[in-house]
Structure 1
């Protein structure tokens, strides 16, 4: 709805630029030159200090353009008299006058003198219509049919056509299928330059800028204002030019809404208040229709009036509270000192703002954001207090949920790696003075990948949640258990008396986790391998204790799994295993054993493929296809990730170029970027070389960064991201929502896409809190103008939910599994029909 609070604004407040004027004897050409130079749509003709007429861009269409006509005085061709409005006229009344008269300009007069010109644009831009424009797509309003002339048509004929049909613009079509546009402003420019000759195509602005019909009116208006244009082409669902939208069309549509609403307000004023002023009626309507609760008290803090939102938020009607003290809402959660400070602020500054817990009539507690303002009478004494509040309980819960997610694992609710490392560092600080011992356990589930591969990720997630519960039940409140990722857990055990107590706890965990887990009517068994390091015996630094617990865990696996192992000084099994994998990776890179699988990303509105993510796989000679989860961490810990990442980038760009050469449309190719790879000195030069050698346009490439990497505050990371955007390379934040950085940084990042981590959809029972996070992420992405992609879509119910919340794009097993390039090429060649039903 358009903001009614702007109805009573006097139009004199909308005059923001000096009035463009000329004398009656000024030639038409001189006037056109001034209008063009000032980027104005009119000139007022003045004589002896009085406005006698006006000449606008629309009047320019009436000219034939010959030299004699351009030399005539403007008084001969001007529109006269100049229609005027008094400076005190309200914005609402002016809107009605524009609607009734059908003109675009009114002179604004005060005390008989013209002080400026009010345009149709001024009226509607100041109505606060952004919300209305965001809700309404272009296709929802009438868009004028195309009037098209060929580029070779004489310019004068084209202008005559505009004049005959009362058009402010026509579309010019070129032989190559390209379109341009000829507008009233172009005609003024040509008159100013005495250039009304030649073909229409020689003078049209080209190319014609366009938007899909599904975009919002706000997007169209914003684009036109940003590009300093007043017309934009409208494309239909097939991409064909179907109409021409002008700024005037948008304003006319808003004006219709405005006039309808204004007339209703005037009727209510006449029926309820008779001669009451228009502005008072609008204030009354704002008071009653406001979404925020409003309470007005007298100077003694006795309630005089409340609005409907107050009743909706608190449960108290106006009859319940009038004459009573606002303390009837008191929750008891604030101290007497809190209220003393509140009243002190009111007395000292005249207002107070803050959060306060109150209680509804039902007894339910709620958190509100409250603003209290002192209202003074003509003598300067306080006569009333006005309190405006909104219920922010749900918002606070969402904020707390986001803060919780920054330090906790989404799936299990356990601490995440960040929180665990913080507590480990704190334990070291507390233990140092007394050299008190504590233990670190590193736990990995044996053959958990087999559970995922055979029973599916949903079953795997259910197993992880049961394991998390069993671990939590075995620990004391002072201990910490965390999920580090995948099937890896870590435990911090403080304040034990005997190291044998640690061993007994490890044995208890083996027994508990190893018990059968019941999921969907079947029994699932998984056993843990546990490694243990002791402070300070095995290390005095957090990383050292974690590494040695990890090494001990590998020792437990080598003992046959389902065992625990204390770190021993000679233990090198984990390190040796990693060295062995690292050697195989070097050989695999030399012998071309790596390959890429590709998974499409779909636009949920059209069902079309808009991107393809390149996913690394290892064709091991003995083990077959190996997913990156089994080797990428080793590569990242060594320098091998740099040449491996370079190979992935080159191969993905090569394949993307091959698809383009074959005439296959796929949107953008997305490649994951490791932190170690991007901080090398040669990364940008490598990227330039790869794009040059593969001839892939930079805008066809999107690099995906982990959230923690994108939020990195180091200067080189920020400089790199800005440089990539300058080169037109797209940037996406991968696994969004699992990081730990402040979301406030998001608006400053030069990224165009958010990829929400699949874990938010993974739960089969569809946690409301996780769905709330998805809604919040989608809304935030849309507000920041970012594409939002949901990963891991596996069920139709998940897909329906994503459409409902307005998610732009999705990928996952339901839509298409990762597949080799040759299979995907055949899929693209068939026109990539969506594997899911369109709405």
Structure 2
């Protein structure tokens, strides 16, 4: 057989299986399908090469016995099967490699996205080992003041700060011990710089073949939210201005202690404290000064309380003290006096020394109430009685006080109606020149024509008006009514040179007072010098600089000015020159004991001499008899006012009185 023939035999139809790239395009023919050239044509190329090495060419193979040829066919078939399996394995490996490469690329991209999101997130990821020590924490942990290296290898501390409401440390520890997941546990810890931080964590256990190997989870910084919640909780229980317990917290504690006192058969005492004239000070010096005063009092009061006594601020200038074991009343007067002594001490606010006092009402459990609301109401009622009786004192509750309280509240409501219904009246008391007997003016005095109680003097309703915030409206009405009455007298030819009106402290503190008075004068057409504004010495001394500024504005309008009740406001005679006023009215307390009181006579004489030297008209108030009248004239007073010279009367009666007395001499007064 020639070489070409041999080559033709070896390159049988199965030969294309040898190159892998070609074998993938078409399958080999079965070695059992013989060609016309004989068995050798169906022999696998590899088997053919092996037979040629032992000297068997194609012809020799075809000449072999049939059993041998059948054996060669089976061997060739096995070679072909192996080629097919090798091709499939190589193809599968190629596909697997491509898929694994794609999976690795997707995993890398996913990890990069996760790391990016973690770095941008306010949360972070953590892992712990079986000993609950941190093995991994993502970078944002440093945002809350923690150093990553200091945290890795250590455990979690949850007992640095008190537990956060809603997160139970015992439950958290129980879940950790039981290798259970936990969610949204919040705890606090103290940073190296002393500040506090709060975290919210969630985690789940990690198991490897059933063995616990640690925890993994997420954490977030909730410091600001937790601190805000704690602040809100404090605000709900404590007064933000003074730091004392507020009304809600006090009432809850009061009810709790009442239950305890009832069970133990002990007594309680509730002391209701209200600062006297706080509104006036607040309006005069400003709200910031009022707040400073409240803080000062809140700091003083605990100094005289026992450890178990509870102090709270109910609101405004109202404080309350709950004293344990005081229900029998023993020691309560001494406690009230200690509280009053602390409140009476001078206080400096806004650069001004102010003198305040307080009124205290006391109610006892169980005598004056069996629940918190009743005790508080009855103590408040007793406090108002203390105010009505002159302030700067205390009063125990008594059942009959409830009727007074109802009457007081009714009066406040009626006062509001009185302004709208025109029930206020003006009476006028004349002033006379002590040398000539000529009327030099009148003072306007407010009265209330009550529908059921008749004509009421200011002492019967001004306290209620002040508590109800009605004094500014009443003062404005009084000024307008005085100016209109003066215009009517002038039109009728009644000789009333001027009319004096007393200004309250709230009016003096009003920065728009001058503008309001100017508007009234313009509306009524009254000349400014026909109106005299009286300011008590004590009001001037509340804030001398503010008062001087107000007086300057009023004087620039040519309104006349007077200092009333001089001698009662703790000012020195030297301060008179600081207040440019037209009239100085000596308080009736110095007139009452004349002429027998040598000290009063000396004071009156000195004040009168100083007043005249400063160009002021000196008026003696409260002249009630001829001896006082002569004494005041001899001591240098130029004018007088009092029941001897003329009682307060209506506008119509005053006109008739002045007409009848137009030719009177000083000795004929009275």
TM-score band by shorter chain is: 0.3 to 0.5
* Higher share of residues assigned helix: 2
